[in-house]
A and B are shown apart, each in its own frame.
Chain A
Amino acid sequence: MDFNLSEEQRLLKESVDGLLTDVYGFDQRKKYLKEKGGWSRVVWSRFAEQGLLGLPFVEADGGFGGGGVETMIVMEAFGRALVVEPYLATVVIGGGFLRHGGSNVQKAAHLPGIIDGSKTFGFAQLEKNSRYDLNDVTTSAKKSGDGWVIDGEKFVVLNGENADTLIVTVRTKGAQRDSSGIAVLLVPADARGISKKSYLTQDGLHAADVSFTSVEVGSAAAIGDPENALPLIERVVDDARTALCAEAVGLMDESLKVTVDYMKTRKQFGVPIGSFQSLQHRAADMFVALEQAHSMSMYATMAAEIDDAAERAKAVAAAKVQIGRSGKFIGQQSIQLHGGIGMTMAAKIGHYFKRLTMIEHTFGDADYHLRRVSETGLLA
């Protein structure tokens, strides 16, 4: 039992925190949001220079051999700074599929571009009616010669507007909700037959609804088993959930800090509002919610590396429940304690709340994961 960071991890944390202090102030972020696609290529290349884009990949693939803790450190820092660059979609998810299921050829083709920052990925998984069920897939991929022909529609594709490559979940066999008969395909974002409707999301990120009309890809497009890729999808999405938990902890931590600072300076009735006991107790409850979330983020980080799929899924689901509940409470109360100013786009705090809210509705909300945990119970 050891909660300390190793020397290397401590240095990583210092360097990420240092970089974000330099390049990711709230006003600097506003400029990035206005750049083409809504994020900064300059910042992205700084991430590449510091090795963040190659963090989770083994050294043989040109990476730095980082594990879950390293990703947790980065995501927490990104949460604190409200980073909008497509790290989750590209490194955690795109990279995750390649790490956990990619062939050597696929890795050689795609990892260098991820690691040097020249390419980004999008994840086309959500469908109109799939909600949080990863097995609910109607977008079809029919065998055609050596390759596949894709038809269907995907919604809120993460980094869908800007990605060079899309990772698309498709049905190759069976009915809409069957667990088998699902494939994961690598599709160039500019492939013929793809049309995109891009938009800004509530949290300042960019996504797209993407439709596929007779999109042809070769046989090499499939990552893993084209008739049974659901376990791979679950594994990568568990990584993504875990990364989101860490990002949410960073968001909550900063929300509480900003809110407490505000309570110390904002005066009403001639005194700082932080001197009122009812508000102090609210802030104390936010602290408790944050610490519980922090513990569960660590728990998920450790569990995400377990190979036993059922054990891993249960732990990650439990963490997502805690993060969802804590995030909603801290987010809403941060706005409440700020009062009117918390309602404005100009104030920082609302942007934390919005990102926390979007995280809650990504890859399963608290109720969804609670149902999963309740089927077996958490404690052995």
Chain B
Amino acid sequence: MDLVFTEEEQAFRRQVRQFLRDNVSPQVQRKMIEGRHVSKEEMVTWWRILNKKGWNVSPWPKEYGGTGWSSVQHYIFREELQMYPAPTPLAFGVGMVGPVIYTFGNEAQKQYYLPRIANVDDWWCQGFSEPGAGSDLASLTTKAERRGDKWIINGQKTWTTLAQHADMIFCLCRTDSSAKKQMGISFIVFCLNSKGVTVRPIQTIDGGHEVNEVFFDDVEVPYENLIGEENKGWDYAKFLLGNERTGIARVGVSKERIRHIRELAANFESGGRPMIEDPRFREKLAISEIELKALELTQLRIVADEGKHGKGKSNPASSMLKIKGSQSQQTATELLMEMIGPLAAPYNEHPDSPDEAMDWIAQIAPSYFNNRKVSIYGGSDEIQRNIIAKAVLGL
């Protein structure tokens, strides 16, 4: 047992950090530190730089463009991106649909889609949740009917993150209404600018526009856009969500935020002294640091254990990473909120407008409100507890 990174691992970390210093635009870095909006163009530009380096789809198998790194190297890479901070690769493409395609797709689909995902030629979004299918995802009703060599798709998806940027959607559709609810679902991908698709923005409590409703009205999709087998979509979705969970703790993001809080609190006055000297505030910060250190090690333990649960199977204990990771992220934004107190009040009509001059204080309340989402999406805290109770504790 040795909880110190090896010399090779540390050298790798330095190499990643140097690459970030040389290649991330200072403007993007500053925006991310202050929690401001990074534009689609800025993100895509950065991801293409990563792709040129061969790092945008790092976790994929080597034959599809992956790096072949160890699980610890993947962890370090992700943490360095989050701490720098720089945008991490687009989860919907790299972390979700990509692995489904290379694991379950046919040769033609792999040839066509995988390089496009790697180079972000298409921006992908996720068509899972529906108004009536949140935590109970399998009750979804969006329907895909086979008509000759086409699917005809009707229904509605919601909470579709950044659909306003998207070119492609991967969608869970009901293809057999007579089967038990998990059994009649298929995994179909298509162009978001197909005829019959309507994207409508949803404004969230922070005032921003991240998520959307997406409506399908007799959308025609080629039959070959089905991934894997018909009516096996639920298995692929579970595989995808399991992949998502290990990366979801976002320890590096919270580390960066805590560093930022410490820096701000050293200069922000309260009661005639810097906020960091307030014992109550300092203890709350210390608690979140301790929780985060514990989470980091727990994540590394689970990472080190990867592969012991069988190919494509996730460790159900990783559900705790989602719970604690969400808590850490939320606590950090809450501490910032507490720090600025009454100065959080002014509401900005367009908090994610790319306004260079915007004061960092103006981002704090929106970021606090926005971060309530993290314990809801990707399987809510309560769903994660169900998973732990059943799959880990056998209850």
| Residues of A that sit less than 8 Å from B by CB | 1-6, 9, 69, 260, 263-264, 274-275, 277, 280-281, 283-285, 287-288, 291-296, 298-299, 302, 318, 321-322, 370-371, 373-375, 377-379
Contacts and interface: CB of A to CB of B under 8 A. Distances in A.
B289 A378 contact: yes
Interface string B356-395: 0000000000000000000000000010111011101111
Contacts of B300: 1, 3
Q: Is the interface of A mostly helix, strand, loop or mixed?
A: helix
Given A277-B386, A371-B283, A374-B285, A263 B298 contact: no
B1 A5 contact: yes
Contact of A284 (B1, B292, B388): B388
Nearest to B281: A374
A320 to B, nearest CB: 10
Given A280-B385, A283-B395, A379-B292, A291 B72 contact: no
Interface string B301-323: 10011000000000001001001
Given A1-B6, A4-B1, A318-B290, A280 B386 contact: yes
A95 to B, nearest CB: 22
B294 interface: yes
Interface residues of B, number: 47
A230 B5 CA distance: 32
B229 interface: no
B120 to A, nearest CB: 31
Nearest to B254: A379
A69 B323 CA distance: 29
B4 A374 contact: no
Given A3-B304, A284-B393, 17 more contacts: A6-B1, A281-B385, A281-B389, A283-B393, A284-B384, A284-B392, A288-B388, A291-B298, A296-B297, A298-B3, A302-B3, A321-B290, A371-B279, A374-B279, A377-B262, A379-B255, A379-B293
Q: Counting chain A CB atoms within 10 Å of each CB, which of B262, B283, B295 scores highest? A: B283
B254 to A, nearest CB: 10
A88 B335 CA distance: 39
Nearest to A69: B1
A6 B1 CA distance: 7
Contact of A292 (B3, B262, B324, B395): B324
A296 B394 CA distance: 25
A2 B298 contact: no
A378 B293 contact: yes
Contacts of B323: 288
22 contacts: A1-B72, A2-B2, A3-B301, A3-B304, A3-B305, A260-B393, A274-B395, A277-B386, A280-B389, A280-B393, A281-B382, A283-B388, A288-B320, A292-B291, A296-B294, A370-B286, A374-B285, A377-B262, A377-B286, A378-B289, A379-B255, A379-B293
B282 A318 contact: no
B287 interface: yes
A43 to B, nearest CB: 27
A3 B386 contact: no
Contact of A377 (B285, B386, B390, B395): B285
Contacts of B40: none
Interface of B: 1-6, 9, 72, 255, 258-259, 262, 279, 282-283, 285-287, 289-298, 300-301, 304-305, 317, 320, 323-324, 382, 384-386, 388-390, 392-395
B395 A379 contact: no
A270 to B, nearest CB: 17
A68 to B, nearest CB: 9
A130 to B, nearest CB: 22
A330 to B, nearest CB: 13
Q: Counting chain B CB atoms within 10 Å of each CB, which of A2, A275, A288, A302 scores highest? A: A288
A110 B208 CA distance: 70
A321 B292 CA distance: 13
B393 A3 contact: no
Contacts of B392: 284, 287
Contacts of B4: 1, 302
A275 B395 contact: yes
Nearest to A303: B3
Q: Counting chain A CB atoms within 10 Å of each CB, which of B279, B298, B395 scores highest? A: B395
A284 B319 CA distance: 10
Contacts of B286: 321, 370, 373-374, 377-378
**List of 9 A-B pairs having minimum Cβ-Cβ separation, nearest first:** A280-B389, A295-B297, A374-B286, A284-B385, A284-B388, A378-B289, A292-B294, A274-B395, A374-B282
Contacts of B324: 288, 292
A299 B297 contact: yes
A280 B388 CA distance: 9
B297 A2 contact: no
A338 to B, nearest CB: 15
Contacts of A377: 262, 285-286, 289
Contacts of A9: 1
Nearest to A263: B395
A379 B320 contact: no
B298 A292 contact: yes
B307 to A, nearest CB: 13
A277 to B, nearest CB: 7
Q: Counting chain A CB atoms within 10 Å of each CB, which of B289, B300, B324 scores highest? A: B289
Nearest to A320: B290
A277 B301 CA distance: 28
Contacts of B6: 1
A285 B294 contact: no
Contact of B389 (A283, A294, A374, A379): A283
A14 B283 CA distance: 40
Nearest to A380: B259
B293 A299 contact: yes
B395 A264 contact: yes
A380 B258 CA distance: 10
A291 B315 CA distance: 14
Contacts of B5: 1
A284 B3 contact: no
Contacts of B255: 379
Nearest to B384: A284
Contact of A298 (B1, B262, B388): B1
